Amino acid sequence: MAKRYFGTDGIRGRVGQFPVTPDFVLKLGWAAGKVFAREGRSKILIGKDTRISGYMFESALEAGLSAAGVDVLLTGPMPTPAIAYLTRTFRADAGIVISASHNPYFDNGIKFFSANGTKLPDEIEQAIEAQMDIAMTTVDSAELGKARRLVDAPGRYIEFCKATAGGISLKGIKLVLDCANGATYHVAPSVFEELGAEIIESASSPDGLNINEDCGATATQKLQTLVTAEKADLGIALDGDGDRVIMVDHEGEEVDGDELLFIIASQMQREGNFKGGVVGTLMSNFGLEQAFNRADIPFIRANVGDRYVMEQLYKNNWLLGGESSGHIVCRHLTTTGDGAVAAIQVLKAMVESGKSLRELRAGMKKLPQTMINVRLEKKVDISGVEEIDDAVAATEDKLGSRGRVLLRPSGTEPVVRVMIEGEDESEVDSLCKELAVDVEKALNSLETSVQAS
């Protein structure tokens, strides 16, 4: 059954526009409370990032849950992965995060974790949506849910992150830490400082409006400049809700999620702790696949989105997966993507190998990539279009084993993304332009035939 409100990562949108409105979120809290309270008294934990609208939606969720008879634990600003962890440790029935991740301050969203700290199964999300169709009621006053603040939430999460370091010391390492003016601003500096590193903080003064603004994992330019200016060993950039990480080496060059995934997997292999394989996505660089092939590490691709990476990890009972965007899941350590935990694993590899981040990344060579967006009048299903299939096959024949072709319709706009990766940059660029022209012609013909019918 298609879902009306939930996407691949909860509910997200512009604040004040449906469904990201106070009245909808109030009803959503009540609906979720009703679903989780069916087995008896229920307890749900709520966290948020630093955007100004978080206060409004926190109050709306709290009121809705209380009206449904559900107790609420409020953490205040905390990273998304911290909520997953705290939901488990407090034996809560669910966790809720108020965040729009790497989006600007004027967006916000609601995402849920199960009692196990994982994304909600489809059937629970569908049950919540079905409950939204029922008129909201309030339990008897004696049964109203109670709310309390968890004052020690930051300390608990800091200790959890430090425990994933395996006892290493970061003494002697100087790093610049970009917190994106987001949910990690008051926890991530303590994590790395208490592990022994010398920390230079950046974008760690949120004001409700500056989250992800020219900073964080989606905008590393300032971090790159700071790392070289401060002569730091590396830089770490987290995103607004702390579930992504991008790093910068000592020469100021960005190290993306694919390269970090390779570094972590290689270290686990050296330690003899590696089991199974690694899950990437359709957008993972072909160079990552080649590097894993050389290391004899199985590698498969999931659809884009951490939800799909997690599905494949559980299906194959593997421990490590992630996206080039920096969303990395270390399933042997936690249940969801965690930027701080992933960064610690990279630092652990540096300490135990005695190599710099730049040296560790050298084991994987990213291949040139060209992507062209073919814009349409409206969304069109490209599966089974013979002209497109033939054009893709012809391009793949020209590339051979030196690269790959990917056509991916956008999930949010009428665009088909034509992407080619390969060993020769000029060849990749030329083939991508040719294929984009062929795809555009085929789609124009398809739209014309649809209109004619």
* CA-based torsion, 6, 120, 313, 264: positive or negative: positive
Instruction: Specify the pairing of strand 234-238 against strand 278-281.
Output: unpaired
β-bridge mates for residue 301, sequence order: 280
- CA atoms in the 13 A half-sphere facing the CB of 227: 25
Sequence-distant (≥ 6) Cβ neighbours of residue 83 within 8 angstroms: 45, 46, 47, 75, 95, 96, 97, 113
Catalytic residue, from 42, 66, 101, 325: name it.
101
Rounded CA gap, 338 and 241, in Å?
9
Closest CA to 328 of 239, 211, 202: 239
Q: Would residue 101 show up in a list of annotated catalytic residues for this protein?
A: yes
Q: How many residues are there in the chain? A: 453
Rounded CA gap, 410 and 159, in Å?
40
Closest CA to 85 of 49, 125, 116, 124: 116
Closest CA to 295 of 366, 367, 342, 363: 363
Amino acid at 185: Y
Closest CA to 257 of 226, 278, 231: 278
Catalytically active residues are 101
